[in-house]
Amino acid sequence: MSTTKKPVATKKATTTKSKGTAPKSKKKFWIILTSIIGGVLLLATAITVPIVLLKTNAEPNKPAEEVKVTKVTFGKDGMPTEVLYSNGTFEYVHSDDITSTTTPATCEAAGKTVYVLKLKDGSTYTTEEAIAPLGHNWSFSKFVWSENYNSAQAEYNCASCNETRLDDIKVNMNQVEPTCEEEGKITYSVELVYNDVLYTETKEVVLPALDHDWNFTKYTWSEDFTSCVANFICKNDFAHSKTEEVEVVATLVLKPTCHKDGLMKYTVDTVYGVETKEVVIPALGHDFTEVYTSEHIHVEACTRCDAEMLEYQEMNTESNKVTYTKVTKLLDSDPDLEDQTPEAAEEE
């Protein structure tokens, strides 16, 4: 059994014309056209209604709307060149229509130029152009020192406005210490490089010499103790020294005699202290002088004590011959009876 495919027949639409009735396709076209026209009319009505209302609501005696400046165009030199008004019109600006007043800028304060534009309706429009501050034109003037020179400032003057500026600067110090006999000094110096120029200045403070500050060390005696000097060393510099001669007082403590030693004391008494030295005076020994003489006898006596010296010829009769022998005999004094008091020496 076989199957045969057959094309399916397409049913064509037929339009039946009725008398007095438009065809359906034409009716649809008019519907679309009517809708488009209606939409356009509605849109036009929405746009124009406010205008109509405005005109309807407008008061007959109300003045015309004020025309205002909405924009001013300026040239590169800052002057107005063109004016645009709120009603859409514009005009070009002529230099004859502009007056200006300038407030100059200073070193620190801004200035300005005020332009007054005379409009065609007789009114004016004012605008301002700012002028930036000029800034100071500083130049170095001098160094300003403190009273003791420990600090300093650099002073600058403005060539434009004569204003003064002070800046702190570093102070360098070099000190030479004074000595006992020579002055010292402190040198203060500053330097500044400004605009590729080097400025320097120095100040000096003199330090007075210290003078010696003597410190007593000792006495130095002569070999026989009859003179003496005081020795000093400077506290500020031990290399500095000096001597001063001081008075020596000699005192005889014990008078020397023929048999006994004497004693002398030497004394220094100053603000630096008291010091004594003692010297032994050797016994003087006898000081004989002739008191009697004859052919066979010679007598001498000591001028300081009772001692006597006898010289005589002693007869010798041996061998039936008479001879003489010289004999010296000391009749000494008693040492214990010798007076050693200084007063006794002065009385003599």
Q: What is the CA radius of gyration of the chain?
A: 72
- Which pLDDT does position 54 carry in this prediction? 29
- Nearest CA to 156 out of 136, 135, 170 is that of 136
Q: What is the pLDDT of residues 262-280, one digit of tens each?
A: 999 999 999 999 999 999 9
- Which pLDDT does position 211 carry in this prediction? 94
Alpha helices by DSSP H, the chain: 24-57, 342-347
Vertex 141, ends 203 and 206: CA angle to 5°? 5
Q: What is the pLDDT of residues 97-156, one digit of tens each?
A: 788 899 999 999 999 999 888 777 777 878 888 999 999 999 999 999 999 999 999 999
Structure tokens at 201: 């200045």
Instruction: Examine the pLDDT at 333 and tell me if it is beyond 60.
Output: yes
Instruction: Examine the pLDDT at 293 and tell me if it is beyond 60.
Output: yes
Instruction: Examine the pLDDT at 35 and tell me if it is beyond 50.
Output: yes
- Cα separation, 161 vs 163, in Å, equals 5
Q: Assign residue 180 a region (left: φ > 0; alpha: ψ between -120 and 50; beta: otherwise).
A: alpha
- Nearest CA to 244 out of 272, 203, 267 is that of 272
- Which pLDDT does position 3 carry in this prediction? 32
- Which pLDDT does position 13 carry in this prediction? 34
Report, as an integer, the average pLDDT of 317-331.
64
Structure tokens at 28: 């649809």
Asked if 338 and 257 count as a contact pair (C-beta separation under 8 A), the reply is yes
Instruction: Examine the pLDDT at 56 and tell me if it is beyond 50.
Output: no
Read off the pLDDT band of 327 (50, 70, 90).
low
Cβ-defined contacts of 88-92 (< 8 Å, 24+): 91/119, 91/120
Could you tell me the pTM of the whole model?
A: 0.49
- Which pLDDT does position 6 carry in this prediction? 36
- Nearest CA to 340 out of 280, 276, 275 is that of 280
**Range with the poorest average pLDDT among 14-18, 70-74, 177-181, 300-304:** 14-18
Ramachandran angles phi, psi of 31, nearest 5°? -65, -45
- Cα separation, 283 vs 30, in Å, equals 183
- Which pLDDT does position 51 carry in this prediction? 25
Query: Is pLDDT larger for residue 226 or for residue 91?
Result: 226
- Which pLDDT does position 196 carry in this prediction? 94
What kind and span of H or E run contains 275? Answer: strand 273-281
Read off the pLDDT band of 343 (50, 70, 90).
low
Q: What is the pLDDT of residues 195-250, one digit of tens each?
A: 999 999 999 999 999 999 999 999 999 999 999 999 999 999 999 999 999 999 99
Query: 260-272 b/e with 16+ CB inside 10 Å = b?
Result: bebbbebbbeeeb
Q: Is 284 exposed, middle or buried (0-12, 13-18, 19+ CB in 10 A)?
A: middle
Q: What's the whole-number average pLDDT of the chain? A: 78
Q: Where are the domains of the chain?
A: 69-131, 138-207, 219-234+241-281, 288-333
- Which pLDDT does position 237 carry in this prediction? 92
* 161 contacts: CB under 8 Å, gap ≥ 6: 106, 107, 136
Asked if 229 and 283 count as a contact pair (C-beta separation under 8 A), the reply is no
Instruction: Examine the pLDDT at 192 and tell me if it is beyond 50.
Output: yes
Report, as an integer, the average pLDDT of 25-31.
50
